[in-house]
């Protein structure tokens, strides 16, 4: 973990991911966790005033360890106690917030955490006193649905919509002459858009890796599907008739368990072998076909797609 110790505390997003990952095996890493907590506290104390908030933000990630119910959690609680004695106002505020997290997790077991926060309501430092007041007020309110829970629902919805849109893209895209690299490009654009939203709009929020991956993949799939949707649903009405000799035939997903699957004919278009798919009801026509006539149209994004197709 020497490499982790060399990470600048200002790079708190990276530290969030690391702390979250080791929280699942907290008992094995608790000594390291405590040393990291002390390192961030010291860095916050030494940081310039304008950087103290950013440096101390990594301390919020240590609440990941509260939910794992590790046997050695008392070591981390002791470290938080020490943080409350810090000369840094920002460290104290973050430790108060961690104590509030402990209390929310188990208010019966960690009743003393609330008592400690109440003690800071009498602090001589206005910022600490005001933060303690605000924290107590929040603890007294019924706990609402957390931002993390809402974000989890949002990220899953994005993934679900993206996955569902793929079924549309597969159904319509097979009659579109769109090169695979454009789908890949659209996926990358969508994924990067999700990454930018996550990193800059919700930069101070702590979300799980699984939520982040669902968001990125969901946006990527959605953008890939939009490529087909926008192109085919807004044509330029530039139709063209084409006729080709059938050079091959086959069935997609054929086999004992899948039946005959989806029949297709193979043609050579622009020196590229292309498979044109038909309904399983057209199996007889496909078997007898010698030629394929198609009418293509140019979509809004410049990609051609098949408007009509006939076998002879």
CATH number, domain of 15, equals 1.25.10.10
Whether the full predicted model's pTM is greater than 0.75, yes or no, is: no
For residues 70 and 190, state if they share a domain: no
Q: What is the pLDDT of residue 173?
A: 83
For residues 60 and 94, state if they share a domain: yes
- What's the rounded Cα separation, in Å, for the pair 302 and 312? 29
For residues 53 and 112, state if they share a domain: yes
Q: How many domains does the chain have?
A: 3
What's the domain range around 204?
Answer: 147-233
- What's the rounded Cα separation, in Å, for the pair 229 and 184? 16
Residues in the chain: 312
Residue 93 tokens read as: 């505020």
Q: Residue-wise pLDDT tens for the chain (312 aa)?
A: 678 888 888 888 888 888 888 888 888 889 999 999 999 999 999 988 888 888 888 888 888 888 766 788 889 999 999 999 999 999 999 999 999 988 888 888 888 999 999 999 999 999 999 999 999 998 887 554 455 677 778 888 888 999 889 888 888 888 899 988 999 999 999 999 888 877 666 544 556 667 778 888 999 999 999 999 999 989 888 899 999 999 999 887 655 444 457 889 999 998 888 889 988 888 889 989 999 999 999 999 999 999 999 998
End-to-end CA gap in the chain: 69
Q: Which of 285, 215, 297, 214 is nearest to 246 (CA)?
A: 285
For residues 14 and 128, state if they share a domain: yes
Residue 56's SS3 state is: helix
For residues 227 and 250, state if they share a domain: no
- What's the rounded Cα separation, in Å, for the pair 63 and 73? 11
For residues 201 and 301, state if they share a domain: no
Q: Which of 215, 222, 232, 220 is nearest to 167 (CA)?
A: 222
For residues 182 and 292, state if they share a domain: no
For residues 246 and 178, state if they share a domain: no
All residues at 6 or more sequence positions from 215 whose CB lies less than 8 Å from its CB, including other chains:
154, 155, 158, 159, 194, 197, 198
For residues 8 and 96, state if they share a domain: yes
- What's the rounded Cα separation, in Å, for the pair 213 and 215? 5
Query: Final residue of a domain: which of 169, 199, 233?
Result: 233
Q: What is the pLDDT of residue 293?
A: 94
For residues 206 and 225, state if they share a domain: yes
Q: What is the pLDDT of residue 148?
A: 63
Q: How far is CA 296 from CA 17, 60, 161, 201, 241, in A?
A: 49, 58, 29, 43, 6
Q: What is the pLDDT of residue 248?
A: 92
Q: What is the CATH number of the domain that holds 247?
A: 2.40.50
For residues 254 and 173, state if they share a domain: no
Positive/negative CA dihedral, 138, 129, 16, 216 = positive
Q: What is the pLDDT of residue 206?
A: 56
Q: How far is CA 178 from CA 77, 245, 246, 270, in A?
A: 58, 21, 21, 13
Q: What is the pLDDT of residue 253?
A: 64
- What's the rounded Cα separation, in Å, for the pair 20 and 264? 49
Query: Final residue of a domain: which of 233, 255, 278?
Result: 233
For residues 10 and 129, state if they share a domain: yes
Q: Which of 76, 74, 46, 75 is nearest to 59 (CA)?
A: 76
Give the residue carrying structure tokens 């931002």: 147
All residues at 6 or more sequence positions from 36 whose CB lies less than 8 Å from its CB, including other chains:
4, 5, 15, 19
Q: What is the pLDDT of residue 186?
A: 93
Cβ(240)–Cβ(195) below 8 Å: no
Give the residue carrying structure tokens 């004695």: 85
- What's the rounded Cα separation, in Å, for the pair 269 and 191? 32
Q: What is the pLDDT of residue 60?
A: 86
Strand-pair partners of 311: 292
Query: What does residue 309 show for φ and ψ, rounded to 5 degrees?
Result: -150, 140
Query: What does residue 230 show for φ and ψ, rounded to 5 degrees?
Result: -65, -45
Sheet containing 262-269: give its strands across: 248-252, 262-269, 272-277
- Within the chain, how many helices (H) and strands (E) appear? 12, 6
Query: Final residue of a domain: which of 233, 264, 297?
Result: 233
């Amino acid at each position: 973990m020497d490499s982790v110790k060399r990470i600048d505390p200002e790079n708190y997003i990276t530290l969030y991911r690391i702390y979250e990952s080791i929280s699942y095996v907290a008992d094995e890493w608790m000594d390291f966790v405590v040393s990291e907590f002390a390192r961030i506290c010291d860095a916050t104390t030494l940081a310039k005033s304008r950087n103290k908030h950013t440096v101390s933000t990594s301390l919020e990630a240590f609440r990941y360890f509260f939910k794992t119910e590790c046997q050695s959690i008392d070591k981390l609680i002791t470290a938080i106690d020490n943080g409350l004695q810090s000369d840094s106002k920002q460290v104290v505020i973050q430790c108060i917030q961690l104590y509030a997290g402990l209390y929310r997790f188990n208010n019966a077991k960690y009743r003393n955490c609330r008592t400690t926060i109440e003690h800071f309501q009498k602090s001589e430092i206005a910022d600490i006193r005001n933060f303690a007041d605000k924290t107590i007020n929040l603890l007294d309110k019924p706990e609402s649905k957390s931002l993390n829970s809402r974000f989890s629902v949002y990220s899953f919805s994005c993934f679900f919509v993206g996955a569902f849109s793929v079924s549309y893209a597969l159904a319509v895209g097979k009659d579109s002459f769109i090169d695979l690299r454009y789908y890949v490009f659209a996926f990358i654009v969508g994924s990067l858009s999700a990454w930018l939203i996550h990193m800059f709009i919700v930069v101070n929020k702590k979300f799980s890796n699984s939520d982040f991956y669902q968001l990125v993949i969901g946006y990527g799939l959605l953008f890939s599907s939009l490529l087909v949707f926008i192109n085919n649903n807004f044509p330029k009405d530039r139709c063209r008739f084409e006729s080709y000799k059938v050079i091959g035939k086959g069935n997609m997903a054929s086999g004992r368990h899948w039946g005959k699957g989806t029949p297709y004919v193979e043609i050579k278009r622009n020196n590229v072998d292309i498979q044109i798919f038909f309904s399983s009801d057209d199996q007889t026509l496909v078997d007898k076909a010698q030629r394929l006539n198609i009418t293509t149209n140019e979509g809004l994004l410049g990609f051609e797609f098949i408007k009509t197709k006939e076998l002879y």
